[in-house]
Structure 1
């Protein structure tokens, strides 16, 4: 009959133990000499109690000796040589006793092991989830005593009482063993080279201490602490002893040239000092810089507090702060170095300040600092900044440098921006895309004034290659190029692509996600984000949002001086200013943009989009003469490339439409050209406005269908020829036509007739006619009754 414990829940015997207990129950008078060997916490004492119970129940005697490893040799010999017919001895595998080994040689030996998940489950409530079973098994390492301590856990958190139960065990250990456990808690459990120096022992001595640690049950065979034991060692050991062990290990590891981050991370904020600790903090900060710049900044701060000279650490601390997005701290630290005594770190500090100022919109000042620094990447970034602020360098005079990814990417960025004003747009785009690809392996470890992906996206948007812009931004986001500093920039540019394509909901969702994340936007990112909000509102005919956001837009422009890379938001603000009849507040900034273009020789890549937005602003403001000037400027660049030809043709179509001359073929070609160039919303709007202004019924239907198609909306089903199919209206008063549903949905949402018309490319008068027919069909006598009925139908 299989034996089952009835005395203690911790006795969940494995197969060898179960067979032995069954044998004892079947023949309690048979002689027995048995050893039970296992580390502490594996249930040896429970097995002894179970054996004693079996013999007591059978009326037989047995001598049991627990913790035999603690007995001295004379006492142990006395126990083992006594004339007992039945003797059971329990002991740990360390310390080893020659007498114990000789006496039990050839005798039965039980070696209870760790619990599996099924045994762990026996200790938990019947309703315990598999996740809870896994948690207890992982934390306890399957050690029965530790499983029992976690039996009352209800969630994925170790209770304080389970940790506190380790206190007597830890206090009982000798000093060397405690020191080893602290080393194992620090991750050096099997680093024999470090342990030998830490413990002051040779390899044999270290091996003995490791064996002793394993015998406690708290250390696994690989030298790591069981998770709950590691937590206990960290929380219950004396703080000064734990700090001293980690400090010593860090010094040893630093001398050996190994990683120290995991060793010194817990020392942050403890107040430890001295040259050795300061050096360890610096080395750990260098390790953390690429993956976690915020942690690196804390480590540099700790190094400074530990005694590293201020200038020596401040420049690297500034770099880490900038990469973590703390530009205030980065500028403060960089200025300390720049204005301090002459040192080898001033150039690096100048580059950090240049990066911070570029993100703050101070591109001219950033360029000055890059020119002052002597590194190859700084010289390349200075070229980018010079061109961005209207100073066209004659030559790309970059110093020779080793082929690092950063220097190579910086050189390509400078070359690409130079080509964008003095060469072919597609060549510039190709160069910048290659620069972005070169930085992808470096990822978040690069400290940049602007990312090559962002510059490539801007150039792509300026020459009608929105697909390329989308691709390069997505790749940069996946590689985390530029780290935290560029998260927002890449998101807002991705949202800009969605906006010009007419995916207004997607663009708006990006803005909402940034707001919910609570990210602080630096002036450059804020400028684009506000322009996005204004642009989405304008395209949605949301005048209330435009008015509400306009003051922010004016402030954003004031905070960020005009440079070549801000023409997109500036153009969007120009259209909004015209819509709000507030052009005078933006006029100085637009004049500055035109002056910048003139200083660069009016490069078509950058001039064409600015004239295109100026054309729309003039159309909105009903300034026909100004619109014609912008159209003429666009025509000058018409023959340079396909994109310029598309934009110029679209400008001419707009002027014709405004003059009442609607050529359906010309308008449709222009609208489809804009769509092909990535400006889906502009293409749909041109076709829609032309449809409103033509008196030709067939042309109107054709252009409306074109507008809906370019906008991604369904078009009317056609018969042969150009006539739209006749769709019979439902006789059911609760049914509306598709068009009437579109109109009703927007009216119920609160849009005015004019806003509905702008959205659907029809006139406000047509919207009014639709609503009148709906009201008549539904038999409503008031507007309130009509809106209530429409809400029911649409629901």
Structure 2
């Protein structure tokens, strides 16, 4: 029996599993129907050559045909079975030639495809056919495993690629779980020990997953190119290496388990040396060495190159590799900024901030400006916008100037932000997509303070779209999508906010570090709409390992959900964490939503003093910005409800006046001001059912179903008019329980703007968004945003529902 050709029948306890053509050919030989049989079996190791020869011997014995192994035969032997012919020397080959020259002599010769001498080739040409051994398919593997373990067939087939000997090896040791036992790997040891040094080195190189081209192998094996093909043939002949140059999974495991680590690492280092010399990829080669403890200039350079390679797609691995480069001897300052950025993109803000600060403190370190950018980004995630703006301004360049401007606006320094954005751009930095997107986002936020909502939204939405192609692999303190969502929420455009965030999630904008932010904002949208189950799911999906900024939003969302569920016990439980969160996170323009929601929770729990300083700072911030209606609406709305709960009538009236002053800013602001005035009258006992219902339906049409239902419900329990109470309770149930009625004449068309009706007509006619955009000279993305806005305004619950409502609106307009 040849080493590497385990007898397959030891796993099946019967005859070997053969494909149908091979089985019929073997039956013909063993029964004497094919005589004289003059056949070759050429296959790599472990394909079952020895097993088939044993099978033929047993079959011949049953049929009474004299058969014997080569060297044990005599003149009366009808069939000579030759195993491992590739190992025969000159005398053995000469004897084999004599057998092959006798056309009446039956002979079956088994050999590996390499090594195969010219003399053996000459013998094989004298034969008349071949028994072809193929890998087993999954059904055959299941037959080998037996009924009890047949469910492991897919696993065993994947590990062995169906190579019969390795199937038998694994089948004889595997239990009931899809695991490769150590006993199966130990059986590879004798075969690996017999391999030549070059063959083993090639197999180890293949185990790294690197593409085995001739130039690379020649460098690793330190041999001429002409010899590379010979070593490849030798490796393939083992059965461990596929023809495409990849290892069988079980072979890779065996090499790791049975070849000493120092021998493996020596090959890996040679591979790395060759790849570095020709500037090829090294990540796959270096990954196994990351915890090896290797030191010296060569490993250090390899770790650094591999880290640069990993950084775009796997920042956590890149950070590990940069640390390995430092441990191997690279000066920390050389890779400090890159390591800090990788750590930040992987979500490890503490490490990022520490490394970036080390770079900044080292006057000789390269990449100090990059270090400032990373440190500034980490501070934004921690809520330190003022300090981050200083770092971004020091770093300079188009991108960091945009970040700095965002920090300045967010902390109330509008004039400084405008001057920064108006200053000439640094001519040394190219106008990349990232730089353009950040500048546009900053400009959009400035416009949200100084101009109408539609202008700001258009600018920030454009910034989000610009960043999508590159946003996954860059380090960002915030995304235009998140900023745009905040502007949209404060403008009452919940559909646009949702579209922006869903696109950011799909594009993985900002990578792992900003994924929780997008998810939490989607949860906030669901909460505002009254979809508490969805909001809870989003909150859970965001995870628990959150930056201070994300933690503040998560706590605010939890408090909002507890309040909407009237769960006072949960609210009390949350309140301790909430107090910690607000102490850790200063107030800025982009955190007014959670601070506002927590102010209502504080009033509900009778602990308003705990948030008094933060709320005072929030109003001072808005005052410094000129009390922009867009950003103040939700803080005032929350303040109104906090004052109502605290029975502070004068304070409530102040919030209503502020909302009324901003009512002309947009239709949404008018809706909120009208509802606020109605609330104030209701708590004073002045319930006008018609006005309450109109105000509640206005909130509902803006997407605020819970607030709408609550206004109608609270008015119902305060009125003394039985008929009004019934009407308002019915209104509350309707607003809480389902979306608005379909858009029909005359309300359907009048809810939509002229431009929206134009879009609706073309979409209903069957045009794609691109075709609609071409017709109206707008982008397809703008069409998409129009559709999102119309879906929200019309209360459509699905695309088909939206199309039905748009058809009604278009028909109403035509009529």
**TM-score for the superposition, normalised by structure 1:** 0.85
What pairs with 1:455-534 in structure 2 (closer than 5 Å)?
455-514=483-542, 517=543, 519-534=544-559
Deviations 1:510-547 (A, max 9, x none): 33455xx5x22221111111112222222222222222
For the residues of structure 2 that align with 1:267 and 1:248, how far apart are their CA atoms? Answer: 12
How far the C-alpha of 1:33 sits from its partner, in A, is: 4.1
2:133 equivalent to 1:112: yes
Partner of 1:123: 144
Give the conservation status (yes or no) of the 8 Å contact 1:634–1:644.
yes
Residues 513 and 102 from structure 1, CA distance in 2 versus in 1: closer, same or farther, beyond 3 angstroms?
closer
Q: 1:260: which partner in 2?
A: 282
Asked whether 1:48 is paired with 2:53, we answer yes
Alignment of 1:705-724 (within 5 A): 705-712=730-737
Match of 2:623 in 1: 598
Cα deviations across residues 29-81 of structure 1 (Å, max 9, x unaligned)? Answer: 95454432211111211222233334445262243332121122243213422
Task: Work out whether residues 210 and 284 of structure 2, in 8 Å CA contact, stay in contact via their aligned partners in 1.
Answer: no
2:696 touches 2:711 (CA, 8 Å); kept in 1?
yes
Cα separation, partners in 2 of 1:43 and 1:389, compared to 1, 3 Å: same
- Work out the CA distance in 1 between the residues paired with 2:123 and 2:607: 102
Query: What are the superposed Cα offsets for residues 683-741 of structure 1, whole Å, 9 maximum, x if unpaired?
Result: 211111111222222222221122112212699xxxxxxxxxxxxxxxxxxxxxxxxxx
Match of 1:135 among 138, 149, 155: 155
DSSP-derived class of the 2:147 partner: coil
Q: What secondary structure is seen at the aligned counterpart in 2 of 1:562?
A: coil
Q: In 1, are the aligned partners of 2:482 and 2:521 still within 8 Å (CA)?
A: yes
Cα 1:351–1:586, aligned 2, differ >3 Å: closer, same or farther?
same
Matched with 2:246 is 224
Residue aligning to 1:774: none
Which residue in the other structure is 1:587 paired with?
A: 612
1:582 and 1:54 mapped to 2: Cα distance? 92
How far off its partner does 1:677 sit?
Answer: 2.1
Counterpart-to-counterpart distance in 2, 1:550 and 1:200: 68
Residue number in structure 1 paired with 2:119: 99
Deviations 1:76-95 (A, max 9, x none): 21342268744433211111
Q: Relative to 1, partners in 2 of residues 1:394 and 1:486: Cα closer, same or farther, differing over 3 Å?
A: closer
Name the structure 2 match of 1:565. 590
8 Å Cα contact 2:15/2:55 also seen in 1: no
Question: Does 2:631 match 1:610?
Answer: no
Equivalent residues of 1:183, 1:189 under 8 A apart: no
Residue matched to 1:77? 94
Residues 32, 643 of structure 1: alpha-carbon distance in 2 compared, 3 angstrom cutoff? closer
**Is the 2:412–2:622 Cα contact (8 Å) retained in structure 1?**
yes
Q: Which stretch shows the higher mean deviation, 30-39 or 252-261? A: 30-39
CA distance in 1, matches of 2:162, 2:259: 23
Q: What is aligned with 2:707?
A: 682
1:624-652 per-residue CA deviation (whole Å, 9 max, x = no partner) reads 11111221122222222211211111121
Which shows bigger deviation, 83-92 or 148-157? 83-92
CA separation in 2, counterparts of 1:32 and 1:226?
A: 34
Q: Which of 635, 656, 667 is 2:692 aligned to?
A: 667
Assess if the C-alpha contact under 8 Å between 2:529 and 2:705 holds in 1: yes
CA separation of 1:91/1:460 partners in 2, compared to 1, >3 Å: closer, same or farther?
same
Report SS of the residue matched to 1:36. strand
Partner of 2:463: 435
Q: Matched residues in 2 for 1:91 and 1:384: separation? A: 73
Judging changes above 3 Å, is the alpha-carbon distance between structure 1 residues 675 and 180 closer, same or farther for their aligned structure 2 residues? same
- Give yes or no for contact 2:630–2:665 (8 Å, CA) kept in 1: no
Residue 394 of structure 1 aligns to a residue whose secondary structure is helix
Pair 1:630 & 2:655 matched: yes
Distance in 1 between residues matched to 2:495 and 2:344, nearest whole Å: 31
Residues 783-794 of structure 1 correspond to what in structure 2 (within 5 A)? none
2:418 corresponding residue in structure 1? 394
Whether contact under 8 Å (1:477, 1:487) holds in the other structure is yes
Q: Is the 8 A contact 1:16 1:110 kept in 2?
A: no
Among 37, 40, 45, which residue is 1:35 paired with?
Answer: 40
- 2:576 is aligned, of 551, 560, 563, to 551
How many Å apart are 1:206 and its aligned residue? 0.6
Range 562-571 or range 278-287, more displaced:
278-287
Which residue does 2:678 correspond to in 1?
653
Secondary structure of the 1:213 match is helix
Give the secondary structure class of the aligned counterpart of 1:94. Answer: coil
Q: CA deviation at 1:23?
A: 3.4
Q: What's the offset of the Cα at 1:291?
A: 2.0
Q: In the alignment, what sits opposite 1:320?
A: 342
**Relative to structure 1, is the Cα distance of residues 20 and 626 closer, same or farther in structure 2, using a 3 angstrom cutoff?**
closer
Q: 2:183 aligns with which of 124, 148, 161?
A: 161
Q: How far apart in 1 are the matches of 2:9 and 2:261?
A: 42
> After the TM superposition, which of the residue ranges 162-171 and 49-58 deviates more from structure 2?
49-58
Any idea what the Cα deviations from partners look like across 1:84-125, whole Å, max 9, x if unmatched?
744433211111222222223141332322222232222111
**Aligned in 2, Cα 1:505/1:143: closer, same or farther, shift over 3 Å?**
closer
> 1:330 Cα deviation (Å)?
0.8
CA distance in 2, matches of 1:19, 1:508: 64
Would you say the 8 A contact 2:563–2:601 is kept in 1?
Answer: yes
Is 1:411 the counterpart of 2:439? The answer is: yes
Cα distance change of structure 1 residues 662 and 133 upon mapping to structure 2, 3 Å threshold = same
Residue 9 (structure 1) shift:
4.0
Q: Distance in 1 between matches of 2:234 and 2:211?
A: 13
How far 1:370 sits from its partner (Å)?
0.7
SS of the residue aligned with 1:639?
Answer: helix
Alignment pair present for 1:286 and 2:308: yes
Change beyond 3 A, Cα 1:224–1:457:
same
Matched, 1:374 2:379: no
- 705-714 vs 294-303, which moves further: 705-714
Secondary structure at the residue paired with 1:406? helix
1:371 and 1:634 map into 2 onto residues whose CA distance is 36
Equivalent positions of 1:186-335 (< 5 A) are 186-188=208-210, 190-335=212-357
Please give the secondary structure, in 2, of the residue aligned with 1:698.
helix
Q: 1:316 and 1:548 mapped to 2: Cα distance? A: 41
**Per the alignment, in what secondary structure is the counterpart of residue 251 of structure 1?**
helix
Q: Is contact 2:17–2:144 with CA below 8 Å preserved after alignment?
A: no
Distance change >3 Å, CA 267–CA 10, structure 1 → 2 = farther
- In the alignment, the residues of structure 2 paired with residue 234 and residue 443 of structure 1 have an alpha-carbon distance, to the nearest angstrom, of 38
Distance of 1:5 and 1:350 partners within structure 2:
67
2: CA distance, partners of 1:112 / 1:163: 24
Q: Please tell me whether the aligned partners of residues 27 and 59 of structure 2 are also in contact (alpha carbons under 8 angstroms).
A: no
* CA separation of 1:45 and 1:693: change in aligned 2, threshold 3 A: same
Report if the CA contact (8 A) 1:360-1:560 is conserved.
Answer: yes
1:148 partnered with 2:173: no
Q: How does 1:358-373 map to 2 (within 5 A)?
A: 358-373=380-395
Q: CA deviation at 1:435?
A: 1.8
Whole-angstrom CA distance in 1 between matches of 2:24 and 2:703: 78
Q: 1:295 to 1:413 in 2, by over 3 A?
A: same
Do the aligned residues in 1 keep the contact of 2:434 with 2:471 (CA within 8 Å)? no
Distance 2:479 2:701 in 1: 27
Contact 2:32/2:65, CA 8 A, preserved across alignment: no
Q: Which moved more, 1:49-58 or 1:638-647?
A: 49-58
1-side partners of 2:31 and 2:519: how far apart? 76
1:453 aligned to which of 452, 477, 481: 481
Distance 1:460 1:36, change over 3 A: same
Report SS of the residue matched to 1:179: helix
